[in-house]
Amino acid sequence: MRRSLLTKVLFADARVVAAFEGGCVLAAERGGKFYLIQDESTLANFLSEEDLVDFAHELVKVFEFDSAGEREAFSQARGWVTEVRRRGRME
């Protein structure tokens, strides 16, 4: 797993695999790579303008994986596996 500099906008095919208060996790594939996108941007509404400048880049994180299995293991480690499996969205 590596943190990617790609943005959520590049993943039009992303699908929600887990949801939680303040955000969601999306899964996507692109160019033979597998991605999880942790989107907590709804929290931006609660941040001051100063904090938003400091933390905006942390509200949406894109993680890149070489395989679907690696992506699922990362998801499990984060506790997202229940939603992922229940929805049947991860390969």
pLDDT digits (tens, 9 = 90+) for 68-80: 999 999 998 988 7
Please give the model's pTM, rounded to 2 decimal places: 0.72
Instruction: Write phi, then psi, for 57 (nearest 5 degrees).
Output: -70, -15
Please tell me the total count of domains within the chain: 1
pLDDT at 1: 66
**Strand-pair partners of 64:** 2, 35
**Domain, as residue range, for 46:** 2-87
Give the pLDDT band of residue 32 (cuts 50, 70, 90). Answer: very high
Strand, coil or helix: what is 28?
strand
Residue 27 corresponds to which amino acid? A
Query: Rounded mean pLDDT of the chain?
Result: 77
